[in-house]
Amino acid sequence: MHVQNKKRFYLMVGLLIVVILLVGFSIYMIWSDISSSNAPVQTASNTTNTANADSSQGNRTDITASQAITNPTDLLVLVNKTTSLDENYQPSDLVWVDLPGVRETQLRKEAATALEDLFAAAELKNLSLYCCSGYRSYQTQEELYAENVKTYGQKEADLVSAKPGQSEHQTGLAMDVTAESVNFDLLESFGQTTEGEFIKNNAHLYGFIIRYPEDKTAITGYAYEPWHLRYVGKDVAAEIDKNNLTFEEYLKTS
């Protein structure tokens, strides 16, 4: 090879190596960026946590097959990662909840009345509970979910929020509650606060269950959410509380 051509050849090889290294480095940076966005899921700020009300970090299995829910108005309707509410389903008896809250929110009438009783019982113990998020339409959930897909990517979004149709909030029977002691946030530590303890010990007396209990992720598909209350009526709530069941387990055995 001519000396001049040889030089050119080595220059080209050198350039090629530099390009390959740059491309490789870029891919690595993008990849690590995506991975690191997983981290703040549980300790996220106020706004993120609101979007994460149906957090599901525990379940890393994507369930694609989902069954259409045929009894959406049933007080014992099961909404989870394997079942889906129709996009047009909206309870016909929604009322604005007349309780202190982070924002105005709705519940089905029977659940709202029961929640008023629960909050009143807390007041008697000098505990102030606050509503955070009750009924959410399919469309609202769709927006929340899309927001999470944008922020975290599809795979991660599935770990931090429910797909539209699969959020219990669409039933109008679920309410996220919070307290000043956790800065009106939705945090796992709420479970250890006086308010959280009160909820744990008394919610069933008013017909509510903690829908995603601690250490039941394998059954519910969701991480521990001491703030997420689901109305099921007093009898069922008492049964679930007495036997330390999840809603899934109760429905299987009842």
CA 146 to chain centre: 14
Min separation Cβ 119 and Zn ion, Å: 17
With respect to Zn ion, which residue has the nearer C-beta, 158 or 176? 176
Min separation Cβ 73 and Zn ion, Å: 20
Q: Tokens 């099961």 appear where?
A: 78
Q: Buried b / exposed e across 14-46, counting CB within 10 Å, b at 16+?
A: eeeeeeeeeeeeeeeeeeeeeeeeeeebeebee
Site of interaction with Zn ion (CB under 5 A) = 53, 176, 228
- CA dist., res. 15 & res. 27, Å (int): 18
**5 half-sphere exposure, CB direction, 13 A CA radius:** 2
225 is catalytic: yes
The active-site residue out of 225, 239, 248, 249 is 225
Q: From 197, 169, 167, 175, select the one nearest 99 (Cα to Cα).
A: 175
The span from the CA of 81 to the CA of 163, in Å, is 8
CB closer to Zn ion out of 53 and 114? 53
Residue closer to Zn ion by CB (options 206, 227) is 227
Rounded least distance, CB 174 to Zn ion, Å: 5
Give the up-direction half-sphere exposure of residue 68: CA atoms within 13 A in the CB hemisphere.
Answer: 5
Judged by beta carbon, residue 148 or residue 253, the one nearer Zn ion is: 148
The minimum distance between CB 176 and Zn ion, in angstroms, equals 4
Which of the residues are catalytic?
225
